[in-house]
């Protein structure tokens, strides 16, 4: 069977369930809508479809949304299995695999020893974060997992009948299971949802480690002890920026859950190794004895020397002539222990610079150091902070509890301190400071940590366009301070770059170029200071927030900027897309590692001045075009009319508010709902707007040359073509009917979209996605079936806005429509 067979079978099974559960009339309604959508897509007009949807009762509208959303959930499963099937059947050296990485590195002239040194130097850090479009309850996800596990059996003659019945049973159960949470998801809901993918990743890691060992043998003809340069972190339960629900207690509960899940993972792996390593020596089972002692210590929650014990066992096996047993039977446990340990993932703490600054001001005032620290100029602040950081005296009276306002900021540091004491230093990652604008913003958390007697490493997060432009000078000043260098020591300096707010500030191309230049200049600063560095990329899943394939993004990094590796955020729906199956997890990880190794080895040759000059000019033009749009006095009302942003802000989608504190403005709207709103109406504006003017400035021939020869530019244009291909002018026209039709802004956007498509196709030399046929097929497969969800959402928005208390009446079906579009389009935020 192929993907179309799987899709057809799953679709027929869903249809049968709908007929049985909701009756023939509803099933016929679904089929009628599908037929009308196909006719509208074929150019026969949509008047009959629009009339049908306008006349729908709320109950029928809700059930139609559910039916088409379930269709997409099942299509997603079929696509995932098709990817698993094609990967499993692939022969020879796969593209972007670890063996291909070593082959390419050898072709660049690197010896085995140089590749080993490269792998030891770099690290790929994947950081899990929550995302509002991953709204499915775990109960529903469990049903979908069971259906996914059954799909392979649908094509086996002796098992197809039973497998079909099992799939039908799960679809039947799902139809009667509420898809949406009745209550707003808690921080713990988000934590548990994200951590649920780690056991699947744990299954992929041993194979990946063996791939690395085999690659060395195949490419260089010798064994290597190189280990996967891979680590996992999380923000869920530690990201406090604008989320009042991430309290110190929530952080404590998160860290407890990390330890529990790590213990479960380790005990499973230790038990399997115990069962496998059954070798006997004069009536003793020496390997099992070691594993039994380790099992009991982990079970009882003791802090154990996990890696030294297992590495000694590995060495003993090899010394005893049991190398195969070490490679095949102990490697899974050893790899999982190296990656997850007793901590599972490293929890970062993120806080807004205003709050860390306010907490420091309170401490300094209490200690009589400064009555008005917050009002001091930057130089005076740095003088105060530098003196205090070289002092050991506490600022708050010993034994006196912090007031609640201060405890909320300092408390999470105390919680990670206790977790580190229980399971080791990897329980905590870094302290990320949102909206870092100055050196004092970066130093202030160090003073808070000193109050609890704990060492942290601060990570400045440069988010806005102005922050990115200022970042190199901020980092130069920071690294010149002896007080800070004493704290940093020999550790890696991390610098986080925000894709979201920079895009919201300046638009697609200007944000991408600002990020490129910030990395290039900060790298030079760190290199001059003699400090190892690593960039932490705050990417979303949408193109407007730095999304797109991870390997493409890594390969598109400026040459010479990957020093100690790279960190990347992985958000809600991306976790489901990448890590729902061990084969998919393996593929995504190997592709990202391929990108890391090749990018880290890329020589730092100066870019042609014509290219950098062209992009600098294009960036200014593109940013001005974008600012002219969003600063238009009519833009905010237009945005609120033609997107569901107002409704999204009222819906119980995520634990985090959609805006930062303050009166509703475009500036305090968070980037996820900003991008999500444009995805819901299929304009995908943040992923391409301003590009035509930029291309006009660059010129077609220069743009084609840059696309052929410059990985950064190619990655940017490929991401833009993906955003344009996933846009749909026909659907966007429907949303314009909510209040934007006929306006100057509507005409501007439609003309800009058409011109962006023309310009990108001219640069790449063909139709959009001509080299990504699987994605093109996926979009074509989905478009006719996502249309009803869009059209029903538009109708619900029209009703909700026209009726008194309309959102209260239509809240549930609107939320279902948001979820359905997210399932159908993917890469939504």
Residue found under tokens 């401490």 = 363
Q: Whose CA is closest to 232, among 522, 502, 657, 579?
A: 579
716 contacts: CB under 8 Å, gap ≥ 6 = 509, 512, 556
Q: Whose CA is closest to 721, among 552, 570, 498?
A: 552
- 143 neighbors 150 (Cβ within 8 angstroms): no
How are beta strands 346-352 and 458-462 bridged, if at all? unpaired
Q: How many CA atoms lie within 13 Å of 458's alpha carbon, on the beta-carbon side?
A: 30
**Using CA of residue 815, residue 817, residue 822, residue 823, what is the dihedral sign?**
positive
Of residues 504, 578, 581, 726, which has the active-site annotation? 504
- 460 neighbors 506 (Cβ within 8 angstroms): no
- Rounded CA separation 238/119 (Å): 29
- Rounded CA separation 482/415 (Å): 28
* Phi, then psi, of 503 in degrees rounded to 5: -65, -40
Q: Copy the structure tokens of residue 455.
A: 């060492």
805 contacts: CB under 8 Å, gap ≥ 6 = none
For 272, counting Cβ atoms within 10 Å of its Cβ (0-12 exposed, 13-18 middle, 19+ buried), the class is middle
| Cα dihedral 514/518/521/523 (nearest 10) | -140
- 575 neighbors 136 (Cβ within 8 angstroms): no
**CB atoms closer than 10 angstroms to residue 727:** 23
- DSSP states of 29-76: HHHHHHHHHHHHHTTS-SHHHHHHHHT--HHHHHHHHHHHHHHHHHHH
Q: Whose CA is closest to 510, among 499, 495, 519?
A: 499
Q: Whose CA is closest to 680, among 636, 639, 619?
A: 639
Element (H, E) at 461: strand 458-462
- 447 neighbors 386 (Cβ within 8 angstroms): no
Quick check: is 143 catalytic?
A: no
Q: Copy the structure tokens of residue 545.
A: 């927030």
- Rounded CA separation 413/400 (Å): 17
Q: What proportions of the chain, in percent to the nearest 5, are helix, strand and coil?
A: 65, 5, 25
Q: Copy the structure tokens of residue 653.
A: 């989608």
Q: Is 570 helix (H, G, I), strand (E, B) or coil?
A: strand
Where does residue 95 fall: left (phi above 0), alpha (psi -120 to 50 degrees), or beta otherwise?
beta
- DSSP states of 388-431: HHT----SSPTTPPPPHHHHHHHHHHHHHHHHHHHH-GGGEEEE
- HEC profile of 641-674: HHCCHHHHHHCCCCCCCCECCCCCCCCCECHHHH
- Rounded CA separation 168/183 (Å): 29
Of residues 131, 258, 586, 726, which has the active-site annotation? 131
Q: Is 352 helix (H, G, I), strand (E, B) or coil?
A: strand
What is the crossing angle of helices 691-698 and 700-709, to 10°?
Answer: 100
| Cα dihedral 586/588/590/594 (nearest 10) | 180
Quick check: is 303 catalytic?
A: no
Q: Is 234 helix (H, G, I), strand (E, B) or coil?
A: strand
Report the length, in residues, of the chain: 829
- Residues with a catalytic annotation lie at 131, 504
């Amino acid at each position: 069977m192929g993907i179309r067979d799987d899709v057809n079978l799953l679709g027929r099974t869903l249809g049968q369930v709908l007929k049985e559960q909701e009756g023939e009339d509803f099933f016929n309604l679904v089929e009628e809508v599908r037929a009308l959508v196909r006719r509208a897509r074929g150019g026969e007009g949509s008047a009959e479809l629009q009339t049908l949807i306008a006349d729908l009762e709320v109950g029928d509208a809700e059930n139609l949304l559910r039916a088409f959303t379930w269709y997409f959930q099942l299509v997603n499963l079929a696509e995932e299995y098709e990817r698993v099937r094609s990967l499993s059947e692939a022969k020879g050296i796969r593209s972007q695999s670890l063996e291909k990485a070593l082959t390419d590195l050898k072709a660049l002239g690197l010896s085995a020893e140089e590749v080993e040194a490269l792998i030891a130097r770099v690290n790929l850090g994947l950081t899990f974060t929550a995302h509002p479009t991953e709204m499915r309850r775990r109960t529903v996800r469990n049903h979908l997992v069971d259906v996914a596990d059954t799909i392979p059996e649908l094509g086996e003659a002796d098992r197809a009948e039973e497998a079909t019945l099992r799939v039908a049973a799960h679809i039947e159960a799902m139809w009667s299971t509420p898809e949406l949470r009745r209550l707003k998801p808690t921080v713990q809901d988000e934590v548990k949802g994200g951590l649920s993918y780690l056991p699947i990743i744990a299954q992929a890691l041993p194979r990946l480690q063996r791939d690395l060992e085999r690659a060395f043998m195949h490419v260089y003809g010798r064994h290597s002890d190189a280990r996967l340069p891979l680590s996992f972190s999380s923000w869920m339960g530690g990201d406090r920026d604008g989320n009042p629900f991430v309290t110190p207690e929530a952080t404590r509960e998160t860290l407890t859950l990390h330890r529990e899940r790590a213990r479960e993972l380790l005990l499973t792996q230790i038990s399997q190794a115990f069962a496998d390593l059954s070798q006997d020596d004069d009536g003793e089972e020496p390997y099992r004895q070691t594993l039994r002692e380790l099992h009991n210590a982990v079970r009882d929650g003791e802090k154990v020397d996990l890696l030294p014990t297992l590495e000694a066992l590995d060495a003993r096996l090899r010394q005893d002539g049991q190398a195969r047993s070490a490679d095949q039977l102990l490697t899974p446990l050893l790899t999982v222990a190296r990656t997850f340990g007793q901590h599972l993932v490293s929890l970062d703490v993120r806080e807004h610079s205003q709050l860390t600054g306010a907490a420091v001001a309170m401490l300094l005032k209490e200690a009589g150091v400064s009555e008005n620290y917050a009002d001091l100029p930057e130089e005076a602040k740095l003088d105060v902070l530098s003196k205090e950081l070289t002092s050991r005296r506490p600022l708050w009276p010993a034994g006196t509890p912090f007031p609640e306002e201060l405890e909320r900021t300092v408390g999470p540091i105390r919680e990670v301190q206790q977790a580190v004491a229980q399971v080791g230093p990897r329980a905590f990652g870094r302290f990320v400071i949102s909206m870092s604008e100055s050196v004092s913003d970066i130093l202030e958390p160090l003073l808070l940590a000193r109050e609890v007697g704990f060492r942290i490493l601060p990570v400045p997060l440069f988010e806005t366009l102005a922050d990115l432009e200022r970042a190199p000078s901020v980092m130069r000043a920071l690294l010149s301070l002896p007080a800070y260098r004493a704290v940093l020591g020999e550790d890696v300096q991390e610098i986080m770059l925000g894709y979201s707010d920079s895009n919201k500030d300046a638009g697609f191309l200007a944000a991408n170029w600002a990020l490129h230049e910030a990395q290039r200049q900060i790298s030079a600063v760190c290199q001059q200071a003699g400090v190892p560095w690593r960039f932490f990329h705050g990417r979303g899943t949408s193109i407007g927030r730095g999304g797109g394939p991870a390997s493409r993004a890594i390969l598109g990094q400026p040459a010479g900027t990957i020093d100690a590796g790279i960190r990347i955020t992985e958000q809600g729906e991306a976790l489901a897309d990448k890590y729902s199956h061990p084969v998919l997890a393996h593929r995504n990880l190997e592709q990202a590692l391929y990108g890391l190794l090749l990018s880290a080895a890329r020589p730092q040759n100066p870019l042609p001045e014509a290219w950098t000059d062209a992009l600098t000019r294009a960036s200014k033009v593109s940013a001005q075009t974008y600012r002219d749009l969003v600063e238009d006095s009519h833009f905010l009302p237009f945005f609120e009319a033609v997107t569901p942003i107002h409704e999204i802000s009222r819906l119980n989608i995520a634990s985090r508010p959609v805006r930062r504190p303050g009166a509703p403005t475009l500036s305090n709207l968070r980037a996820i709902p900003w991008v999500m709103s444009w995805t819901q109406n299929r304009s995908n504006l943040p992923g391409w707007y301003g590009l035509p003017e930029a291309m006009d400035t660059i010129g077609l021939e220069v743009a084609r040359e840059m696309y052929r020869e410059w990985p950064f530019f190619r990655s940017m244009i490929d991401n833009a073509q993906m955003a344009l291909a996933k846009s749909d002018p026909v659907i966007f026209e429907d949303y314009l009917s909510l209040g934007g039709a006929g306006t100057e802004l509507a005409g501007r956007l439609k003309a800009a979209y058409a011109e962006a498509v023309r310009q990108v196709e001219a640069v790449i030399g063909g139709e959009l996605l001509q080299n990504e046929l699987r994605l093109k097929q996926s979009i074509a497969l989905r478009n006719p079936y996502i249309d009803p969800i869009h059209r029903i959402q538009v109708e619900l928005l029209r009703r909700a806005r026209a009726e008194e208390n309309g959102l209260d009446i239509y809240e549930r079906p609107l939320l279902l429509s948001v979820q359905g579009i997210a399932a159908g389009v993917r890469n939504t935020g």
